[in-house]
């Protein structure tokens, strides 16, 4: 039987660089993770593509997915719903591949309850000032929304104790190196691999 993949959850405040780090993670030639594309009711930003960046849904469609139990987790964040499709995650893990989620902390908490064995990584900004600079610098949010996102960020940073690892995103490539090292270490964790070795000893 094939071993199940690892569910990797990358979380952190808006603007910390989750999207940037995730893209850098996936652009490495040795990337073996599968990215789970989320559903959202947020309007697409310029350049975002349905089915690539997100599956863009109406509130009615999203609420229907909730009712039908199609989401592993979901959260309302700054006025919009965001959620992870459960079937994709389960099927991909069953096939032995690691799945990579990029979600905010309320959702990460729900995943922790359903998948306590997941690998939870919190991406931390070098400082709150730098976080604000990044959100402002991206230019996708109005002043009011930046304020809301900074408030959300303060609350999120207070909840980091439920994560297995904290990675500071001072430099993108350095953060990616750390994420790879963490995932690699997780693959060697004895409770994940012990059965394989026991089987090997039985055969010989």
Ligand X SMILES: Nc1nc2c(ncn2[C@@H]2O[C@H](COP(=O)(O)OP(=O)(O)O)[C@@H](O)[C@H]2O)c(=O)[nH]1
Ligand Y SMILES: Nc1ncnc2c1ncn2[C@@H]1O[C@H](COP(=O)(O)OP(=O)(O)O)[C@@H](O)[C@H]1O
- Residue ranges of the annotated binding site for ATP are 12-19
Which residue in this structure is represented by tokens 């989750």? 18
| 75, interface contact from ligand Y, ligand X, none, CB < 5-8 Å by kind | ligand X
Q: Residue 117 CB, nearest distance to ligand X (Å)? A: 19
Binding flag, residue 18, ligand X (CB under 6 A) = yes
Q: How many secondary structure helices (H) and strands (E) does the chain include?
A: 8, 9
Of 34 and 73, the one with the shorter C-beta distance to ligand X is 73
Cα torsion 24, 48, 17, 39: sign? negative
Annotated binding site: 12-19
Residue pair 134/17 in contact (Cβ under 8 Å)? The answer is yes
Q: Which does residue 29 touch among ligand X, ligand Y, none (CB within 5 to 8 A, set by kind)?
A: none
* E-state strands within 78-169: 80-85, 99-102, 119-124, 165-168
Tell me which residues in 106-145 interact with ligand Y (CB under 6 A).
Answer: 134, 137-138
Residue 34 within binding range of ligand X, rule CB under 6 A? no
Residue 20 engages ligand Y in binding (rule: CB under 6 A): yes
- Choosing from 77, 115, 120, 122, the residue that interacts with ligand X (CB under 6 A) is 77
Q: State the minimum distance, in angstroms, from the CB of residue 75 to ligand X.
A: 4
Please, which residues have CB within 8 angstroms of residue 8's CB and are 6 or more apart in sequence? 33, 98, 99, 100, 101, 118, 119, 121, 179, 183
Integer Cα distance of 51 and 11 in angstroms: 21
Shortest-Cβ-distance residue relative to ligand X = 107
Beta-strand ranges (E) seen in 12-108 are: 34-35, 39-40, 55-56, 71-77, 80-85, 99-102
Site for ligand X contains 104 (CB under 6 A) = yes
Q: Which is nearer to ligand X, 136 or 192 (CB)?
A: 136
The residue ranges that bind ligand Y (CB under 6 A) are 14-20, 134, 137-138, 169-172
The residue ranges that bind ligand X (CB under 6 A) are 14, 18-19, 38, 42, 73, 75, 77, 82-84, 102-104, 106-107
């Amino acid at each position: 039987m094939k071993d199940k993949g690892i569910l990797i959850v990358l979380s952190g405040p808006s603007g910390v660089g989750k999207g940037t780090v995730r893209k850098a993670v996936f652009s490495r030639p040795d990337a073996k993770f599968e990215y789970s594309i989320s559903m959202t009711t947020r309007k697409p930003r310029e350049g975002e593509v349905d089915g690539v960046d997100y599956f863009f849904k109406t509130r009615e469609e999203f609420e229907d997915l909730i009712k039908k139990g199609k989401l592993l987790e979901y959260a309302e964040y700054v006025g919009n719903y965001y959620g992870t499709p459960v079937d994709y995650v389960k099927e991909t893990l069953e096939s032995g591949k690691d799945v990579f989620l990029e979600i905010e902390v309320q959702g990460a908490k729900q995943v922790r309850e359903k998948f306590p064995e997941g690998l939870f990584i919190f991406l931390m900004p070098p400082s709150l000032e730098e976080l604000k600079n990044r959100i402002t610098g991206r230019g996708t949010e109005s002043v009011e929304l930046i304020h809301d996102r900074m408030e959300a960020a303060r609350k999120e940073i207070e909840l980091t104790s439920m994560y297995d690892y904290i990675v500071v995103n001072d430099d993108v490539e350095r953060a990616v190196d750390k994420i790879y090292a963490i995932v690699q270490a997780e693959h060697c964790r004895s409770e994940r691999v012990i059965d394989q070795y026991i089987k090997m000893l039985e055969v010989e």
